[in-house]
């Protein structure tokens, strides 16, 4: 019997843990995700690739962690709003929320409603090396109103390209099939196997 | 003749340098401000006091600077938007701008239009000690439209409490008399004398 490989996922966001766990199970690769609830500081940078890389370096240096671990950073990027809320998606969600985004988009039609969800997974393999980055993207548009009760964050206003549904109208399984987070995580799984 | 004391102001924002210089001149204290255009990374934290303190520590540690220096961080905090744009005021200004703030405030009346400008100056005295923080606050409200051509950033939508004017409708001298930045900087000057 092959023993399962353990990977530590460092995040304070339990929704992300749930998604990644279901994905690891569905893939039935020999991976077990261990959640570590640790709140690390992120830098204010416009590129979430750089944010994730610096965060992983910070965790490695400050915590002295010796096991393999990964973190992820996700942003919603709206070109018509010059990339807002981008790297500050979590703060913007906590303050103005989906209602705020809809107000900012009220006068935007057609192509101007386009949006991209991007996840960057930064993986540090034991013994600790430079973080390796995996990027996953989902293209879509900002819906005209909040729809659906699944998912979390901006899911209820993000209509996945080609689907009639927002991410919040999909089951976790459906969302995991196409989402930015699952695409980034699958690249990590491919890298590991 | 008393020789002037030199203080280095580390920032990439030339508007802030102009304001601080006029203030130092007007106060006619023996201080000369030297501008150093250095772009340091800021942390993503909800309290700008903590952002400024960490930035000053970072500059001290990474650049090996031995002269006395200060930095400042300023945020516009709107209680009706749960503190948005707060510590991310610069990014929010670059992306959605004053027009975006006005859209988010369109349905806000009376007390709900209240806003606070806050500046934190973090001063590191040679030989480098722990940063000392000075906080300056200006209370006001978000105007219904953009007014005035002076100042910079959110000045054209910030009506100072008790004034009929936005900060952008004031001269630099008028603004310096009451602004968050001048109040924080005056505390630093008092500390130095």
The whole-number average pLDDT for the span B135-151 is 97
Supply the pLDDT for residue B5.
83
Length reported for chain B: 193
Best to test chain B binding among A44, A55, A87, A115 (most B CBs inside 10 Å): A44
| Beta strands in chain A, from DSSP E residues, in sequence order | 5-10, 31-36, 42-44, 69-78, 84-86, 114-124, 132-142, 158-160
Q: Is B88 on the interface with A (CB under 8 A)?
A: yes
Q: Model-level pTM greater than 0.80?
A: yes
- Reported as a pLDDT band with limits 50, 70 and 90, residue B51 is very high
> CA-to-CA distance for A64 and A16, rounded, in angstroms?
24
Q: What ipTM was assigned to the predicted interfaces of this complex? A: 0.87
> Which pLDDT band, with edges at 50, 70 and 90, does B92 fall under?
very high
Of B44, B103, B104, the CB nearest to A43: B44
Is B1's pLDDT higher than 80? no
Q: By CA distance, what is B50's nearest residue in A?
A: A41
pLDDT band at residue B32, thresholds of 50, 70 and 90?
confident
Residue A26, pLDDT score: 72
CA B178 to CA B138: how far, in whole Å? 7
**Residue B30 binned pLDDT confidence (cut-offs 50, 70, 90):** confident
Position A3 scores a pLDDT of: 66
pLDDT at B141 over 90: yes
Q: Which pLDDT belongs to residue B2?
A: 56
Residue A97: CB partners within 8 Å, gap ≥ 6? none
Is the per-residue pLDDT at B83 higher than 70? yes
Q: What is the CATH number of the domain that holds B63?
A: 3.90.950.10
Question: CA neighbours within 13 Å on the CB side: how many for A44?
Answer: 22
Taking only residues 100 to 139 of chain A, the set having a beta carbon closer than 8 angstroms to any beta carbon of chain B reads 100, 103-104, 106
Phi, psi of B6 (to 5 degrees): -105, 135
The CA radius of gyration of chain A, in Å to the nearest whole number, is 17
Predicted pLDDT of residue B128: 73
Percentage of chain B with pLDDT > 70?
98
Separation CA B122–CA B21 (nearest Å)? 17
Considering its fold, how many domains does chain B have in total?
Answer: 1
User: Under a CB-based contact definition with an 8 Å cutoff, are residues B134 and B123 in contact?
Assistant: yes
Query: Cα separation of B192 and B125, whole Å?
Result: 10
Rounded Cα–Cα distance for residues B80 and B82 (Å): 6
- Each residue's pLDDT, cut to its tens digit, for chain A (193 residues) gives 556 788 999 999 999 998 888 888 776 777 889 999 999 989 988 899 999 999 999 999 888 888 999 999 999 999 999 999 999 999 999 999 999 999 999 999 999 999 999 999 999 998 877 999 999 999 999 999 999 999 999 999 999 998 989 999 999 899 999 999 999 999 999 998 8
Average pLDDT, chain B: 93
Residue of A41, A87, A104 with shortest CB distance to B96: A104
Gyration radius from chain B CA atoms = 17
pLDDT at B162 over 90: no
Contact B120, B135 (CB under 8 A): yes
B89 compared with A128, residue with greater pLDDT = B89
Residue A3 exposure: Cα atoms within 13 Å on the Cβ side: 3
pLDDT (average), residues B40-56: 92
Predicted confidence at residue B3, as pLDDT, reads 66
Backbone angles phi, psi at A131, to 5 degrees: -60, 140
Question: So what's the pLDDT on residue B165?
Answer: 96
> What is the signed CA dihedral for A152, A153, A157, A159, rounded to 10 degrees?
-60
Helix (H) or strand (E) holding B91: helix B89-95
Q: What is the pLDDT of residue B126?
A: 86
Asked whether the beta carbons of residue B91 and residue A95 sit closer than 8 angstroms, the reply is no
Q: At what angle do helices B180-192 and B14-27 cross, to 10 degrees?
A: 50
Contact criterion met (CB < 8 Å) for A84 and B100: yes
Give the range of the structural domain holding residue A163, as residue numbers without chain letter.
Answer: 5-192
**What pLDDT score does B25 carry?**
79
Cα end-to-end span (Å), chain B: 17
Query: Rounded to an integer, what distance in angstroms lies between the CA atom of residue B29 and that of residue B187?
Result: 13
**B81-107: average pLDDT:** 97
Q: Which residue has the tokens 């293209």?
A: A139
Residues A156, A66: Cα–Cα separation, whole Å = 38
> Sorting pLDDT into bands at 50, 70 and 90, what band is B4?
confident
| DSSP helix, strand, coil percent of chain A (3-state; round to 5) | 40, 30, 30
**C-alpha span between B146 and B168 (Å, rounded):** 9
């Amino acid at each position: 019997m092959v023993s399962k490989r353990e990977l530590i996922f460092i995040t304070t966001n339990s929704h992300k843990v749930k998604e990644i766990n279901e994905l690891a199970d569905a893939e039935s690769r020999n991976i077990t995700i261990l959640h570590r609830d640790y709140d690390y500081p992120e830098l204010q940078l416009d590129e979430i690739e750089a944010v994730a890389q610096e965060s992983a370096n910070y965790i490695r240096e400050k915590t002295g962690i010796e096991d393999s671990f990964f973190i992820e950073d996700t942003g919603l990027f709206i070109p018509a709003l010059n990339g807002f809320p981008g790297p500050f998606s979590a703060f913007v969600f906590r303050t103005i929320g989906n209602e705020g985004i809809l107000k900012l988009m009220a006068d935007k039609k057609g192509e101007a409603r386009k949006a991209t969800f991007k996840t960057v997974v930064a993986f540090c393999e034991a013994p600790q090396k430079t973080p390796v980055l995996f990027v996953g993207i989902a293209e879509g548009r900002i819906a005209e109103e909040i729809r659906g009760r699944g998912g979390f964050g901006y899911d209820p206003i993000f209509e996945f390209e080609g689907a009639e549904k927002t991410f919040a109208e999909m089951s976790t399984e459906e969302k995991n099939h196409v989402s930015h987070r699952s695409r980034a995580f699958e690249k990590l799984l491919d890298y590991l196997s």
